[in-house]
């Protein structure tokens, strides 16, 4: 187990190093001088030189990279070209909004997908099964931002039940937070649920055909016990990975939904940084998201090993 | 050894039998026709601004209504089909070419090459799909070409992984070893013996990736990072119309429905192909269909 | 003595995509307390299916008809709820492959006593000591520690012992052993056969032993039924069937039996293959491969099961014929 954890840690570290290189190179790929581009009409020589020096752009490339890496390791991701504030602080203050949206959406998805996937596997070929398959095909194909627009149209425009956009912090007013998070979370959650439903269903079907399930039936156990104790536990082990990958990609990937619902999270920050050509903020957001993504994957792999006793021994 | 025509033949006959896949194929045919001939088929010009006809609901003259500048939504949806198809095809073409080449060499030669290539793919895999595409476009500047490149880069690792996995299982088989033993060159073995035998998962992957690439394009253009105005794109139309949807539902419904139908059609065909060609293929893809 | 489990005119039809497949066609057999019945046949002969159907474990697409008596209860038409309780309480199962028939994520102890907890309402503490007791019974060393181990920590032979312990958890009246040694190596096979025979002597359990290995049958069975294409071709006391095999198929099986010294258990080497259950011939299903090769009657008419001696029956028109050697 310890060796497995160490190996996975090393792997993740190597990938993370690659990630920093990609993120670093992003700035180099900007055609022309990124600082000049970013400043645009606000150009004045003094600010320009200060920002260039702060970003280390007057150094050779290799030196710049190791400098970037060294500072990133100490949590210094540079300063915003726009506001001059530290990128780390800017990115971190957006984290709660994204986190609360992503977690709510994944919970929503799990609550729908698990029962639906389980029932459609157990009653394979039934009406529920067909409905589940239509649902998952719909969810995999629908653009979530379109569904978001439709949801705003219905729940906010026609019915007037929920605010069309905006954000209230959970810590500030849980009730108003909930009413604001409902639409974006449901929108993202439905798409995630449709993906999860497929995985739960196919994983369940695979386990249902295992010999040990027949063994459990031969013991005369109740169907509920067979499903809960013998099928579910085995079927959900691989699904856990998928849930986590979904969560991880939501943590940085809900750009469009955050823009649509004016949700001030990492995605919205990324969008604003792109529009303002604030490259250090863009780099910081991308780096943070990729690091989170890797971290979640690492945790999942270890969790997976804990859930499946076979892996610990190997 | 599986022969290539046999696979295609099986795939086609399976499509004919499956009503969903058949529907999907028909939608795709219509789409291609509209995509190629959109500008001629469209009832009106796409940039005919008319302030007297702003935000009109669907009517016989304008079946999909008009937008905030009085432009005919149907015509714009039709012309925008070309953009979606073009971005989908070119970006998946890039991902396919680069990914298959990398995966082929990595899987065939193994060793350090394999290690380097696949670690690079791991790095690309560490970014959420859309975020990476947005970052690339942000750096290169928005537009049709950069959108295609960005989406192509984002979907390359999947093709590399699928190809490599296929190569690893094929290269130990008898006919490959036989080819090696009679002294065929590596390139020839890869082209003549390895590639045809991993065609099945690649066909499936291509078709499913088209669906996701089109979704990604829509998301990028929704963010203003795709085709630049006044050229129409479905995602962009949704973005521009989002402020008006409560008064003008048609601005939200029709472009979105066009994206949905296109993606659905590719998915239906892709699923049917997978059922026939490669029923056990890992659904990496679906896990990667990240939300935008 | 009344049989523990008896089936009469048992027929199992499985609906497949290519039409109904008749897996079992009008089979009668019975197993009495303390006795061992061996069901012998090639794979697909219906030997396993007849037992699974009798105990309610047939696949969902299977249609089962006939009469099935378990102890004093008629099972046909009984709601699944009731059948389930009888199944766990009175019948224990040992399946073919111990590598796959145990749940990988539960400890063996938990799996061993699961049935007892369900049907006998054991407390948690009682369940644990019962698990240790059962593992000890089947000869697992240091059962007290091994009870908390997971299946992958056991060898194949040890796993099959765990499965046997599991089957015996409720002290069932009947043990069903579905090719329990096929997946094991030769020395382990002998140990498992010996273990089951020993447990049967000590506990007085009836056993249905499903196998294609006639060598095992001779050693442990009291009665034997030879099945082919869903029907019984010959059945009776093991001495009678082995001493005077009356069906050409039985003779072929016995002749194909490997030399025990040679060791290899892979036996059936009769030319040809059994017919598809989707397309059974009207006459004797063995006719195309039969070394006796009677006349057109064999091809077009199903031979009846006729007695040749006390309790010994055979399904052929030519019980006295000798095989042709070409």
Three-class secondary structure assignment of chain A: CHHHHHHHHHHHHHHHHHHHHHHHHHHHHCCCCHHHHHHHHHCCHHHHHHHHHHCCCCCCHHHHHHHHHHHHHCCCCCECCCCCCEHHHHHHHHHHHHHHHHHHHHHHHHHHHHHHHHHHHHCCCCHHHHHHHHHHHHHHHCCHHHHHHHHHHHHHHHCCCCCCCCCCCCCCCHHHHHHHHHHHHHHHHHHHHHHHHHHHHHHHHHHHCCHHHHHHHHCCCCHHHHHHHHHHHHHHHHHHHHHHHHHHHHHHHCHHHHHHCCCCCHHHHHHHHHHHCCHHHHHHHHHHHHHHHHHHHHHHHHHHHHHCHHHHHC
Specify the DSSP class assigned to residue C153.
G
Share of chain B above pLDDT 70, in %: 88
Confidence of residue B289 (pLDDT cuts 50, 70, 90): very low
Q: How far is residue B290's CA from residue C6's CA, in Å, rounded to a whole number?
A: 58
Sort strands C5-16 and C91-94 into parallel, antiparallel or unpaired. Answer: unpaired
Element (H, E) at C27: strand C19-31
The pLDDT score that the predictor gives to residue C250 is 87
* Test mutation, A220, A235, A306, chain C, max C CBs within 10 A: A220
Q: What is the pLDDT of residue B102?
A: 94
Interchain contact A95–B (C-beta under 8 A): no
The domain segmentation of chain B, as residue ranges, is 7-291
Which pLDDT belongs to residue C321? 62
For residue A220, give the nearest of C84, C101, C150 by CB distance: C84
- Give the H/E segment covering residue C306: strand C305-309
Q: Looking at the DSSP assignment, which residues form a beta bridge with residue C227?
A: C232
Determine, for residues B130 and A253 on separate chains, whether the beta-carbon distance falls below 8 Å: yes
Q: Please check whether residue C88 touches A, CB under 8 A.
A: yes
CATH dotted code for B7-291: 1.10.3720.10
Looking at the DSSP bridge assignments, the partners of residue C29 are C7
Asked if the Cβ–Cβ distance from C166 to A215 is below 8 Å, we say: yes
A251 CB-contact burial (10 Å; exposed 0-12 / middle 13-18 / buried 19+) = buried
Q: What is the dihedral of CA C205, C208, C212, C215, to 10 degrees?
A: 30
φ, ψ dihedrals at A278, nearest 5°: -90, 80
pLDDT in tens, C192-217: 888 888 888 888 899 999 988 887 88
Q: Is residue A190 less than 8 Å (CB to CB) from chain B?
A: no
Q: What pLDDT, on the 0 to 100 scale, is given for residue B98?
A: 95
Residues 220 through 279 of chain C touching chain A, CB cutoff 8 Å: none
Residues of A in contact with C104 (CB under 8 A): 212, 234, 308-310
Chain C environment of A308 (Cβ under 8 Å): 104-105
Contact (Cβ atoms closer than 8 angstroms) between residue B254 and residue B74: yes
- In this prediction, residue B94 has a pLDDT band, given cuts at 50, 70 and 90, of very high
Contact flag A143-B215 (C-beta cutoff 8 Å): yes
Dist CA B45 CA B239 (whole Å): 21
Q: Do chains B and A touch (3 or more CB pairs under 8 A)?
A: yes
**C300, C282 Cβ separation under 8 angstroms:** yes
Which pLDDT value is given to residue B2? 43
pLDDT, tens only, B137-184:
988 888 889 999 999 999 999 999 889 988 888 877 777 777 777 777
Minimal-distance CA residue of chain C relative to A232: C105
Q: Average pLDDT of chain B?
A: 81
If phi > 0 it is left, if psi is from -120 to 50 it is alpha, else beta; for residue B5 that is alpha
Query: What per-residue string of b and e applies to A4-43 under the rule 16 or more CB within 10 Å gives b?
Result: eeeebeebbeebbebbbebbbebbeebeeebbeebbeeee
DSSP three-state, residue B287: helix
Q: What is residue C87's predicted lDDT score, i.e. its pLDDT?
A: 85
What tokens were used for A137? 């095909």
Interface test with B, best of A34, A91, A105, A146 (most B CBs within 10 A): A146
How much is the pLDDT for B284? 39
Q: Is A146 on the interface with B (CB under 8 A)?
A: yes
Chain A residues within 8 A of B223 when measuring between CB atoms: 255-256, 259, 271, 274
Query: A: neighbours with 3+ CB pairs under 8 Å?
Result: B, C
Residues of chain A with pLDDT under 70: 1, 252-253, 308-314
Higher pLDDT, B14 or C58: C58
Binding partners of C (≥3 Cβ pairs within 8 A): A
pTM score: 0.79
pLDDT (mean) for B253-280: 83
Asked if A162 is an interface residue toward chain B (Cβ–Cβ < 8 A), one would say no
| Cβ <8 Å between A289 and B260 | no
pLDDT digits over C265-281, tens only? 444 466 777 788 787 88
pLDDT at B288 over 70: no
What are the two backbone dihedrals, phi and then psi, of residue C297, each rounded to the nearest 5 degrees? -60, -45
Give A117 to chain C, closest Cα distance, Å: 20
Residue of B nearest to A38 (CA): B139
In angstroms, what separates the C-alpha of C87 from chain A's closest C-alpha?
5
For residue C138, the distance in angstroms to the closest alpha carbon of chain A comes to: 18
Is a pLDDT exceeding 70 seen at residue B280?
no
A103 touches chain B (CB under 8 A): no
Inform me whether the C-beta atom of residue C179 falls under 8 Å from chain A C-beta atoms: no
Q: Which residue has the tokens 């150094």?
A: A59
How far apart CA C173 and CA C207 sit, in angstroms, is 9
In terms of pLDDT, which residue wins out, C320 or B240? B240
CB contact under 8 A, A237 and C153: no
Find out whether C93 and C205 touch, Cβ atoms under 8 Å: no
B279 pLDDT above the threshold of 70: no
Contact C100 A237 (CB under 8 A): no
Chain C interface disruption, residue of A212, A240, A304, most C CBs within 10 A? A212
As a whole number, the mean pLDDT across chain C is: 84
Shortest CB distance from B126 goes to which of A156, A250, A290?
A290
- The pLDDT score that the predictor gives to residue C21 is 85
Question: pLDDT digit string (tens) for B59-81?
Answer: 777 777 777 777 777 888 888 88
Spans of all domains in chain C = 5-79+206-315
List residues of A whose CB lies inside 8 A of any C CB: 210-212, 214-222, 225, 229-230, 233-234, 237, 307-310, 313
Q: In this predicted structure, what is the pLDDT of residue A269?
A: 92
- Classify domain A95-263 at the CATH superfamily level: MetI-like (1.10.3720.10)
| B72 beta partners | B66
Alpha-carbon distance A215 to nearest alpha carbon in chain B (angstroms): 26
Among C321, C248, C242, C320, smallest CA distance to C288 is for C248
Q: Does C152 contact chain A (CB < 8 Å)? A: yes
Residue reference for tokens 């991993």: B198
Would you call B287 and A146 a contact, using CB atoms and an 8 Å cutoff? no
With cut-offs at 50, 70 and 90, classify the pLDDT of residue B290: very low
Alpha helices in C91-155 (DSSP H): 108-120, 124-137, 143-146
On chain A, the residues whose CB falls within 8 A of the CB of B292 are 143-145, 253-257
Cis peptide bond upstream of B230, omega within 30: yes
Q: Do A218 and C57 touch (CB under 8 A)?
A: yes
> Measured between CB atoms, does C119 come within 8 Å of chain A?
yes
Q: What pLDDT score was predicted for residue C261?
A: 53
B223–A259 C-beta distance less than 8 A = yes
Please say if the pLDDT value at position B124 is more than 70.
Answer: yes
Domain C5-79+206-315 class, CATH top level = alpha beta
pLDDT of A252 = 66
Q: For residue C24, is pLDDT > 50?
A: yes
How far is Cα of residue C210 from the mean position of the Cα atoms in its chain? 2
């Amino acid at each position: 187990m310890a060796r497995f954890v160490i190996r996975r840690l090393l792997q993740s570290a190597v990938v993370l190093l690659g990630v920093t290189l990609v993120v670093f190179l992003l700035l180099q790929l900007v055609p022309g001088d990124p600082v000049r581009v970013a400043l645009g009409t606000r150009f004045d020589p003094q600010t320009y030189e200060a920002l260039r020096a702060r970003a280390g752009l007057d150094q050779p490339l290799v030196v710049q990279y190791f400098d970037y890496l060294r500072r990133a390791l100490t949590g210094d991701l540079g300063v915003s070209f726009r506001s001059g504030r530290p990128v780390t602080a800017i990115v971190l203050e957006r984290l709660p909004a994204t986190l609360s949206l992503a977690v709510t959406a994944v919970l929503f998805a799990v609550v729908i997908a698990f029962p639906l996937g389980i029932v459609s596997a157990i009653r394979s070929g039934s009406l529920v099964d067909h409905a589940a398959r239509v649902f998952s095909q719909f969810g995999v194909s629908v653009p979530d931002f379109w569904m978001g627009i439709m949801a705003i149209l219905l729940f906010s425009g026609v019915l007037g039940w929920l605010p069309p956009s905006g954000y209230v912090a959970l810590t500030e007013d849980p009730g108003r937070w909930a009413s604001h998070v409902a639409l974006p979370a449901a929108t993202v959650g439905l798409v995630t649920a449709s993906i999860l439903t497929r995985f739960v269903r196919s994983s369940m079907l695979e386990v249902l055909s295992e010999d040990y399930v027949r063994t459990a039936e031969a013991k005369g156990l109740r169907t509920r016990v067979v499903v809960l104790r013998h099928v579910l536990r085995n079927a959900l082990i691989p699904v856990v990975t998928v849930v986590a990958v979904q969560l991880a990609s939501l943590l940085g990937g809900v750009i469009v939904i955050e823009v649509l619902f004016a949700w001030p999270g990492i995605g919205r920050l990324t969008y604003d940084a792109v529009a303002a050509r604030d490259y250090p903020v863009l780099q910081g957001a991308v780096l943070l998201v990729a690091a989170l993504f890797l971290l979640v994957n690492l945790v999942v792999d270890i969790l997976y090993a804990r859930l499946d006793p076979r892996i610990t021994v190997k | 050894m599986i022969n290539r025509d046999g696979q295609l033949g099986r795939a086609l006959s399976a499509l004919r039998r499956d009503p969903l896949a058949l529907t999907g194929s028909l939608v795709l045919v219509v789409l291609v026709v509209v995509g190629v001939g959109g500008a001629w088929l469209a009832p009106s010009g796409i940039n005919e601004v008319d302030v007297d006809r702003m935000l009109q609901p669907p009517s016989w003259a304008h079946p999909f209504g008009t937008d905030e500048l009085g432009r005919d939504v149907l015509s714009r949806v039709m012309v925008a089909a070309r953009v979606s198809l073009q971005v989908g095809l070119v970006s998946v073409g890039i991902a396919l070419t680069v990914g298959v080449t990398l995966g082929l060499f990595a899987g065939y030669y193994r060793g350090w090459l394999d290690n380097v290539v696949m670690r690079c793919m791991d790095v690309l895999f560490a970014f959420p799909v859309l975020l990476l595409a947005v970052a690339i476009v942000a750096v290169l500047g928005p537009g049709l070409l950069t959108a295609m490149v960005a989406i192509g880069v984002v979907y390359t690792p999947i093709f590399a992984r699928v190809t490599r996995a296929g190569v690893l299982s094929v290269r130990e088989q008898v006919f490959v070893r036989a080819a090696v033993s009679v002294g065929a060159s590596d390139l020839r073995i890869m082209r003549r013996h390895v590639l045809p035998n991993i065609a099945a998962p690649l066909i499936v992957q291509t078709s499913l990736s088209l669906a996701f690439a089109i979704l990604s394009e829509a998301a990028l253009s929704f963010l203003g990072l795709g085709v630049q105005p006044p050229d129409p794109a479905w995602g962009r139309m949704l973005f521009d119309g989002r402020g008006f949807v409560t008064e003008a539902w048609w601005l939200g419904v029709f472009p979105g429905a066009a994206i949905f139908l296109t993606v659905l059609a590719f998915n239906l065909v892709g699923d049917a192909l997978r059922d026939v060609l490669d029923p056990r293929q890992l659904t990496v893809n679906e896990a990667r269909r990240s939300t935008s | 003595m009344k049989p523990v489990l008896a089936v009469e005119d048992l027929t199992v039809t499985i609906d497949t995509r290519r039409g109904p497949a008749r897996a079992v066609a009008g089979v009668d057999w019975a197993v009495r307390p303390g006795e061992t019945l061996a069901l012998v046949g090639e794979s697909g002969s219906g030997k396993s299916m007849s037992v699974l159907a009798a105990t309610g474990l047939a696949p969902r697409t299977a249609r089962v008809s006939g009469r099935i008596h378990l102890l004093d209860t008629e099972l046909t038409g009984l709601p699944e709820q009731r059948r389930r309780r009888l199944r766990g309480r009175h019948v224990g199962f040992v399946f073919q492959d111990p590598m796959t028939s145990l749940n990988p994520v539960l400890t063996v102890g938990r799996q061993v006593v699961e049935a007892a907890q369900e049907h006998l309402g054991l407390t948690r503490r009682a369940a644990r000591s019962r698990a240790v007791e059962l593992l000890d019974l089947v000869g697992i060393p240091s059962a007290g520690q091994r009870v908390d181990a997971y299946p992958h920590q056991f060898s194949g032979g040890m796993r099959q012992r765990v499965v046997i312990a599991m089957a015996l958890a409720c002290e069932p009246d009947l043990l069903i052993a579905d090719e329990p040694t096929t997946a094991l190596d030769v020395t382990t096979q002998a140990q498992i056969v010996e273990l089951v025979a020993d447990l049967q002597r000590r506990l007085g359990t009836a056993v249905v032993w499903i196998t294609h290995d006639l060598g095992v049958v001779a050693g442990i069975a009291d009665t034997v039924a030879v099945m082919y294409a869903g029907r019984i071709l010959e059945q009776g006391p093991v001495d009678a069937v082995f001493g005077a095999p009356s069906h050409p198929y039985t003779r072929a099986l016995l002749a194909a039996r490997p030399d025990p010294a040679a060791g290899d258990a892979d036996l059936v080497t009769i030319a040809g293959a059994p017919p598809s259950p989707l397309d059974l011939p009207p006459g004797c299903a063995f006719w195309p491969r039969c070394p006796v090769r009677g006349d057109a009657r064999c091809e077009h008419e199903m031979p009846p099961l006729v007695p040749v001696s006390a309790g010994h029956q055979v399904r052929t028109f030519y019980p006295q014929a000798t095989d042709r050697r070409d």
